[in-house]
């Protein structure tokens, strides 16, 4: 059913994937296919120096297998850095299912995915990402124990949680934006600031609600007209075309959809002083971070600002303490503040400073802060 395409710890054989531009010393890359359910999936484990790889499962109708492979390689690497900077006892891993989640997602497919995850023997622990629901994880958990994000709980203020990491991600991004505003404008207060949000899914919608509640003026865009209409009606947001949101006259541009929002085209017309959002891999290429820095635009490293969700699901693997999770998610703002101060001292892009800190932890596991 499953075959290991790459296992760099276990084989000396040369495989073409080793020359892939997004291959970064990944320990395992596993391709899985199940004819009975139609499962076509890839699991990538990047680095386990800090512990077993932890990262979400994404389901998407990729245009090609190469696009899916590129996505899982980049995302799993990002999870290594994210988990290291969040102080978690986990390395980086990610999984993708190739298929349309609106038509191809079934309990049987998820059980097959669970068997694929289980075949790695605990080297990878999966969780929820785009295209996957908590009920899908419950089906997946029927065939593997290596899954998290299933625990229903309540926040310290009593809000019910289903295990979905989106609320925690949104809280972390909100406090990260506050840290960015403090760095650029001398005050963390979003009141009166124009904030452009690209993508109004589970995280983007919650972020919009939090910013609106703090007095920000919202500009929003999403491929789903129903989502933009809901945010417009609920929060008085101004709706822009998806192709124009990055160029809006805003203080903050918050990419909260797919990666690559900062690319060769968008960077030419970007007006915001700050780029800070929930999306993974916001820089299409590393050099665009340098370009932002030279232009005087503050960039919040994506794997730092969007770590709230993984902090939450990692905590669900132990004795879950909602108050402790909330404290650690809010502290993302403090972590970014420290990165910005060091970047200013060294005159370096913030992501360069963050990478250096993360890479030091990837060879020397951090202490477990709370589990």
pLDDT band at 14 (very low <50, low <70, confident <90, very high): very low
Give the model's pLDDT for residue 1: 52
> What is the pTM for the complete model shown?
0.91
Instruction: Give start and end residues of each alpha helix (H) in the chain.
Output: 65-85, 107-118, 134-140, 166-185, 202-213, 225-235, 266-269, 287-294, 302-305, 308-315, 322-330, 332-346, 350-363
Query: Tens of pLDDT along 49-65?
Result: 999 999 999 999 999 99
Query: Tens of pLDDT along 286-344?
Result: 999 999 999 999 999 999 999 999 999 999 999 999 999 999 999 999 999 999 999 99
Percentage of the chain lying above the pLDDT 90 cut: 88
Long-range contact pairs involving 156-164 (C-beta distance under 8 Å, separation at least 24): 156/322, 156/323, 156/326, 161/322, 162/134, 163/128, 163/134, 163/137, 163/313, 163/316, 164/128, 164/134, 164/202
pLDDT of residue 120 exceeding 90: yes
The residues near 187 (Cβ < 8 Å, ≥ 6 apart) are 181
Give the residue numbers annotated as catalytic, written as ranges: 94
Mean pLDDT of 11-21: 67
Give the model's pLDDT for residue 365: 54
**Domains of the chain from N-terminus onward:** 2-150 (3.40.50.10860), 160-363 (3.40.50.720)
Q: Give the mean pLDDT of the chain.
A: 92
Mean pLDDT of 270-280: 97
- Dist CA 108 CA 125 (whole Å): 19
Residue 49 or residue 369, greater confidence: 49
Query: Tens of pLDDT along 234-265?
Result: 999 999 999 999 999 999 999 999 899 999 99
Mean pLDDT of 19-46: 96
Instruction: Give start and end residues of each alpha helix (H) in 59-199.
Output: 65-85, 107-118, 134-140, 166-185
Query: Tens of pLDDT along 146-181?
Result: 999 998 766 666 666 667 899 999 999 999 999 999
Give the model's pLDDT for residue 251: 98
Percentage of the chain lying above the pLDDT 70 cut: 91
């Amino acid at each position: 059913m499953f075959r290991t395409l790459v296992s760099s710890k276990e084989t000396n054989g040369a495989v073409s994937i080793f020359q892939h531009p997004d291959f970064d010393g990944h320990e395992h890359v596993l391709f899985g296919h199940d004819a009975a359910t139609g499962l076509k999936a890839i699991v990538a484990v990047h680095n386990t120096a800090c512990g077993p790889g932890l990262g979400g499962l994404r389901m998407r109708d990729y245009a090609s297998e190469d696009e899916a492979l590129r996505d899982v390689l980049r995302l799993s690497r990002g999870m290594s850095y994210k988990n290291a900077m969040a102080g978690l006892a986990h390395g980086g891993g990610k999984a993708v299912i190739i298929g349309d989640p609106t038509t191809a997602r079934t309990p049987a497919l998820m059980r097959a995915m669970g068997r694929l995850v289980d075949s790695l023997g605990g080297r990878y622990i999966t969780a929820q990402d785009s295209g996957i629901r908590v009920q899908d994880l419950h089906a997946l958990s029927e065939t593997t124990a290596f899954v998290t994000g299933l625990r229903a709980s309540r926040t310290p203020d009593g809000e019910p949680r289903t295990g979905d990491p989106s609320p925690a991600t949104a809280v972390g991004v909100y406090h990260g934006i506050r840290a960015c505003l403090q760095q650029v404008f001398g005050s963390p207060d979003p009141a009166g600031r124009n904030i452009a949000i690209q993508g109004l899914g589970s995280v983007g919608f919650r972020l919009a609600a939090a910013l609106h509640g703090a007095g920000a003026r919202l500009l929003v865009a999403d491929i789903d007209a129903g989502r933009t209409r809901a945010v417009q009606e609920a929060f008085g947001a101004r709706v822009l075309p998806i192709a124009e949101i990055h160029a809006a006259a805003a203080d903050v541009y918050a990419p909260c959809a797919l990666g690559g929002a900062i690319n060769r085209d968008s960077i030419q017309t970007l007006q915001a002083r700050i780029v800070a959002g929930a999306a993974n891999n916001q820089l299409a290429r590393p050099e665009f971070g340098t370009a932002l820095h030279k232009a005087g635009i503050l960039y919040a490293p994506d794997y730092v600002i969007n770590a709230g969700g993984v902090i939450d699901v990692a905590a669900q693997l132990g004795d879950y303490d909602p108050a402790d999770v909330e404290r650690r998610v809010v502290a993302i703002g403090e972590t970014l503040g420290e990165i910005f101060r060091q970047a200013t001292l060294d005159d370096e892009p913030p992501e360069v400073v963050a990478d250096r800190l993360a890479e030091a932890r990837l060879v020397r596991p951090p202490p477990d802060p709370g589990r």
